């Protein structure tokens, strides 16, 4: 069974991907800087009989590692990867998913604040976490992935290709991640390590919020209908693509970006 490290795994897409891999019997490191959410998630999964049937030889202790990791900090990343390799005797796949949760340059949920009204430090933070973070993780995972002829999957965004106002930090960092993906794919070409990117569009991840359970307002018909696929995306849409890329049967694919957005980036939108 494969050994997989997922960053940003306490909530959202990362939680869904890591949990799905765990359900398949893989060995999974849930890495996240939010230790509180990690602790809650560990308890939730440990009590999930569907993940760990009583008659199976799997357990949360044997198949999962929950590790506090700041992807923008080299020491934090290196110790996380070392702990993963020590526990699982290697590493087969790195999923660089951790990112700032908000796309707005304000650094919070204010979409109206223009980039010239916020400190330049806000922009640097997006780069440090969303772009430099995946580079650091890949740097320290490289030797282990060469040994296993594994793969790296970078989670980018359709905001790398199109944008809303005041998305400078998020869009630039996610676009940079696409450049990093193709560069690393070429650099790793002689060692059998594949590197690809997945760019999600609008994915409703609200049910993957670990820290608090709140009543979710339903999405509107217009939310769904603006997608050629007829609906807003769900976490499994992304997880299935990542599973496909992790599979060794798809070893001829590297250096690519897979846009999973229900066709939204292909649709021309005009004001009525």
226-266 pLDDT, tens digit per residue, is: 888 889 899 999 999 999 999 999 999 999 999 999 998 88
Evaluate whether 15 touches 66 at the Cβ level (below 8 Å).
no
Predicted pLDDT at 250: 97
Evaluate whether 181 touches 257 at the Cβ level (below 8 Å).
yes
Positions of the chain with pLDDT under 70: 210-215, 271-272
Strand partners, 4: 28, 93
For CA atoms 117, 120, 123, 125, the dihedral sign is negative
Evaluate whether 260 touches 202 at the Cβ level (below 8 Å).
no
The enclosing domain of 246 has a CATH number of 3.40.50.720
Residue 143 lies in a domain: yes
Query: pTM (2 decimals)?
Result: 0.95
Residue 271 lies in a domain: no
Number of domains in the chain: 1
- Which residues are catalytic, by number? 170
Q: Which of 227, 163, 241 is nearest to 199 (CA)?
A: 241
Predicted pLDDT at 45: 96
Per the structure, the complete domain to which residue 81 belongs is given by 3-266
Residue 92 lies in a domain: yes
Predicted pLDDT at 212: 66
Predicted pLDDT at 214: 63
The strand ranges marked E within 147-254 are: 151-155, 194-200
- Whole-angstrom Cα distance, residue 141 to residue 93? 9
Predicted pLDDT at 191: 97
- CA 239 to chain centroid, in Å, comes to 9
Residue 37 lies in a domain: yes
């Amino acid at each position: 069974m494969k050994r997989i490290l997922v960053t940003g795994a306490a909530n959202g897409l990362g939680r869904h991907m890591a949990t799905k891999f765990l359900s398949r019997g893989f060995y999974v490191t849930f890495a996240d800087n939010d230790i509180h959410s990690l602790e809650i998630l560990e308890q939730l999964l440990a009590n999930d009989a569907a993940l760990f049937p009583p008659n199976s030889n799997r357990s949360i202790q044997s198949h999962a590692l929950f590790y506090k990791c700041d992807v923008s900090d080299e020491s934090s990343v290196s110790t996380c990867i070392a702990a993963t390799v020590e526990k699982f005797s290697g590493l087969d796949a790195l999923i660089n998913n951790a990112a700032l949760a908000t796309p707005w340059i304000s650094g919070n949920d204010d979409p109206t604040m223009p980039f010239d009204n916020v400190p330049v430090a806000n922009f640097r933070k997006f780069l440090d976490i969303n772009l430099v973070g995946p580079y650091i993780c890949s740097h320290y995972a490289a030797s282990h992935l060469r040994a296993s002829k594994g793969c790296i999957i970078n989670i980018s965004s359709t905001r790398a290709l199109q944008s809303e106002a005041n998305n400078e930090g998020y869009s630039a960092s996610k676009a940079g991640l696409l450049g990093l993906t193709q560069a690393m794919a070429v650099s790793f070409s002689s060692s059998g390590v594949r590197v690809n990117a997945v760019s999600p569009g609008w994915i409703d991840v609200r049910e993957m919020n670990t820290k608090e359970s709140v009543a979710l307002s339903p999405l509107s018909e217009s939310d769904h209908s603006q997608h050629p696929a007829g609906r807003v995306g769900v976490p499994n849409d992304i997880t299935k693509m990542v599973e496909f890329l992790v599979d060794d049967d798809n070893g001829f694919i590297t250096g690519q970006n897979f846009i999973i957005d229900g066709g939204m980036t292909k649709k021309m939108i005009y004001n009525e």
